[in-house]
Amino acid sequence: MDLPLLWFLIIAFFWMGYLVLEGFDFGVGMLMRPLSKGDTDRRLIINTIGPVWDGNEVWLIVAGAATFAAFPEWYATMFSGFYLPLLAILAALIIRGVAFEYRGKINDDAWRARWDWAITIGSWVPAVLWGVAFANFVRGVRLDADHQMVSGFFELLSPFALLGGATTALLFALHGAIFISLKTDGEMRERAGRTAAVLAVPTLVVAGAFAVWAQVAHSAHTWTWVPVGVAAVALVAVVFATRARREGWAFTLSALTIAAVVVFIFGSLYPNVLPAINDPANSLTISNASSTDYTLTIMTWVAACLTPLILAYQGWTYWVFRKRLTAGAIPAHIGLPRRDPAKDPASS
């Protein structure tokens, strides 16, 4: 196998890791408010991803940096072309990340409420926009002969792309609901399980419509029906698993669904990395966007040595924090009071 193709697959793998892992993080953030009856519930939900969300997000950074290293043309065109969606995603990830860390630092309802909005918005925005972005990759964009993207911002919001956004938002919400039901016990487990069962059917309808549309209208290959089929079967099974409250199975299957969608996306792109809809000759391809074999060889060695280690220690983290959480496991607030006692004349 030639090196650019190998790196196309490695980057697809990084995206798969990112969307499967942060997919449920996003879902957890999206559902935090609707699934909660009070602050303890919210903390319970946040703490299901507490030790792992940051590590999950690194898959995105690595997917981006690997694209820079292995396909500079792809990185440059994609990131400058999708400027505003990426800006919104960055802003969302910023407020979401600090919200997890800072939410409990001051023991005050108004303080927490503000960060809860940051978590909500910071989870919904990327959940929708990643779908919009990937749908546009599959559909293709307008590229000039220098591989510069000349699609305007509103061209990125086609009905197909918006359906892509709805698909990822629903998939992540479902994945997150299942994750909460898998990681909690008691009332929350029940509530999240019910929500997952409710979400599964519309997710199947929307994701199914998107996948068939994408396959029929935009995929260059017949074989990509296979990941479409796998995703569909897995998602149908999710519907049954969530009704039967088989949380482990439901989670495995929703992860498989997202993984199959990623296989479909990159499969339908191949041999392009960013197809040009205006003139196929302008498409960015695996071969015309890649770095030199020398750079790719070094990167291959690095990735081959480190990726198994990463999977091992991230897997270990999930093992360490494998137990289900209950409301009783959430300790009292340890944040400082809202008012600074040093500035408050009433206190000593």
If one asks whether residue 236 binds other proteins (CB under 8 A), the answer comes out as: no
If one asks whether residue 329 binds other proteins (CB under 8 A), the answer comes out as: yes
Question: Whose CA is closest to 46, among 18, 21, 25?
Answer: 25
First to last CA, the chain: 72
Which window, 77-85, 228-236, 260-268, 276-284, contacts other proteins (CB under 8 A)? 77-85
Q: Are β-strands 272-274 and 284-285 bridged in parallel, bridged antiparallel, or unpaired?
A: antiparallel
Q: Are β-strands 336-337 and 284-285 bridged in parallel, bridged antiparallel, or unpaired?
A: unpaired
If one asks whether residue 157 binds other proteins (CB under 8 A), the answer comes out as: no
* Degrees to nearest 5, angle at CA 252 with 248 and 254: 115
* Residues in CB range of 180: below 8 A, 6 or more apart: 28, 31, 35, 45, 48, 188, 189, 192
Which window, 159-167, 173-181, 239-247, 334-342, contacts other proteins (CB under 8 A)? 334-342
Q: Which is nearer to other proteins, 156 or 204 (CB)?
A: 156
Q: Which is nearer to other proteins, 216 or 329 (CB)?
A: 329
Q: Give the C-alpha separation, 313 to 323, whole Å.
A: 17
If one asks whether residue 310 binds other proteins (CB under 8 A), the answer comes out as: yes
Please give the residues from 53 up to 72 whose contact with other proteins meets the rule CB under 8 A: 53-55, 57-58, 60-62, 64-66, 68-72
If one asks whether residue 75 binds other proteins (CB under 8 A), the answer comes out as: yes
Among 15, 18, 26, 100, binds other proteins (CB under 8 A): 100
- Residue owning tokens 């935009």: 218
Read off the tokens for 323.
């137990």
From residue 102 to residue 131, what is the string marking binding to other proteins with x (rule CB under 8 A)? xxxxx-------------------------
Angle of the 72-81 helix axis to the 83-102 helix axis, nearest 10: 80
Count of residues near other proteins by CB under 8 A? 82
In the complex, the smallest distance separating the C-beta of residue 224 from other proteins, rounded to whole angstroms, is: 27
If one asks whether residue 233 binds other proteins (CB under 8 A), the answer comes out as: no
